[in-house]
Amino acid sequence: MLFITLTGVLIAFERTTDPLVKRLNDAPEGPAPQSTPVAGGMPIPVDEAVAVAERALPGAFASNVGLPNGPKAVFRILKKFPEDRTPAGRSRVYVDQFSGKALLVENTRTAPLGTRILNLKRSAHTGDIFGAPTQALYFTVSLGIALQAITGALIWWNGRKRAR
């Protein structure tokens, strides 16, 4: 129960906790990637952006494609390696919408310690970390929490009866 609570706190207060955990990384985090607008230029097709991501992270499949929203925005392609414990994966490729260049590649296989911890927190919280055994354990713990609420109310109720 304590572990589920801790991971929940890390998720709920991630604006505060994420920067603290990222301090474990060797290098400071750089600025967010941005496309370089081209006057009169057309964005590359989505298929081409996915192909760039495939070349940047071979062996992982594209599970989600974020489309650019504005001239400086980038394609954000979420990729999943077979060993990833989350449904969509945590590797990312950011692609310039005009040049088709991979601006930033975040690879779960080579991520620094702080990033690995952050990638693991949601999997640990939802029970995806070890699959069905962890989910069964979490289900049992959740039932225990509900049982504590019921028995706590019964103890209180019976205590009121004795006081009379």
For the chain, domain boundaries:
1-27+112-164, 28-106
What is the per-residue pLDDT across 36-94, written as a single tens digit (0 to 9) for each?
Answer: 998 888 999 999 999 999 999 999 999 999 999 999 999 999 999 998 888 889 999 99
In three-state secondary structure terms, 98 is: coil
User: What 8-state DSSP symbol labels residue 122?
Assistant: H
pLDDT at 74: 97
What is the per-residue pLDDT across 8-29, written as a single tens digit (0 to 9) for each?
Answer: 898 999 999 999 988 898 877 7
CA distance 127 to 130: 7
What is the per-residue pLDDT across 92-145, written as a single tens digit (0 to 9) for each?
Answer: 999 999 999 999 999 999 999 998 888 888 888 888 888 888 889 989 998 998
Cα dihedral sign for 149, 151, 153, 159? negative
Contact (Cβ atoms closer than 8 angstroms) between residue 80 and residue 63:
yes
pLDDT at 140: 92
Q: Measured between alpha carbons, how far is residue 144 from residues 125, 139, 141, 149 in Å?
A: 17, 9, 5, 9
Contact (Cβ atoms closer than 8 angstroms) between residue 88 and residue 116:
no
Listed residue (33, 112, 37) closest to 76, CA to CA? 33
Cα dihedral sign for 27, 90, 108, 45? negative
